[in-house]
Structure 1
């Protein structure tokens, strides 16, 4: 009888898990918002296009052997002067705009994701340390954060980018420039994570389960990572989603100002900077399509961030 009683248990547990997923407040909130669904679909499309850019783009814009100056500054295909396969036209190097957008989208998202991961790791670590230990450690970390908050993030990114590039030398390869961008963007956005995590940790560390972990001799790093961190990840996910859009915008701004990716390996910001030189000569497509792609990507991510913030806020349920 014991075996008969326990046999259907895994089935009921699986059914219960499916029911909980179906009845989840977050999932229900997502399915109720058509705007959020559209934003998620657009974001997913951009991610897929960036991942498979090498397969779906008509041309490799980073390969000089595939470029022909005779095809430079061609209008989009629906114009009489347009030529196949350049659907959205070409730039001054004969580079297909659609292919350049797909490959540039990949670079912008790589810089954005890596910048968010770096800033989140740094900010979460410092926030855990400041909130858990307090005292002089908390004071030093928070005063550094307060000082950084007095400067705009783009100014800090420009400063760090310039200092690192000057220290490494004038001529840098594209991969090194990409790493410098990730480093400068990551150092520009860690403060939000640190302040948010610190506040949550100061609340969590006074609860009974933390006192019980201390009582049985669990080391402080284990308590912070295994017990405290999972309970403060909700606000961190919201900040990370919104900061992804900010990181993409910051990278595009740095590239537009000439401190980002080079013309030989352009991101969306570099494409916009290149197109800006030809805007008043009539070649509007060189700047318009990369600008629309950047705006659509950032808007979709911001809409997802706004939904996630509301969905994880218990006061709004």
Structure 2
């Protein structure tokens, strides 16, 4: 069985707010200069990743999850693949939006799950901002501010810098600001309710659809700020920072400076290399890894070590 990392090819999504940073920063072969998203580890039906190496080369992660459950530490995989990892290039402001929780998604939107997500800031312009939450104390106040278009009074903005981490539970009003590139780890969901889109129009002169009723139905009011406490652990040649340990995912930032023996786990890991280069060495293979690579460490990999100067975002369920 698989004794090496499962490397995946990104799936690109063009967006009205996209740009060219995914090519500039990661040397990705993007389809246009309005590429907003790279779905780098995805088994979602709207853009499944394709395996690039080994016996399963050419298969989609959707197929692999369904047909090879042992790679994920399970006898069967009756549910959907749980996570989706993206890299987003916000060349312009994203819409102000909110995502539903599992209950709403399943009962009212007839989707498998809601969408809780988190962001690691990979790159950003000076004084870049995100919207996270709102300032209304009641739904009535929220509706009044929306009806009057008093967006500056309503939205809560904060400045961000490279290396910042933001947790965005379902129900949180949010928007990624212009000039920000993020790595997003989320539930495997593509459901979004737009509240406000800056009156933008697409190439055909049409405004994008808004979902005011749905957004207000799923939004947390008043806004609840979730404080995350990073947990740093210094091992030989590895600084591991746990960014979030939540209901749906646990996410780490790993900074390697040499050879690191990785403990064997019963599950699988999702890994995105955000800087540097190195090697992953197993009992049967040597794989070169570099900035922009994305892969799954399967549960079947056995003993392995990583060697190099690398920064990685690592997640698991």
TM-score (norm 1): 0.26
Structure with a larger share of its residues in helix: 1
Q: Which has the larger radius of gyration?
A: 1
Structure with a larger share of its residues in strand: 2
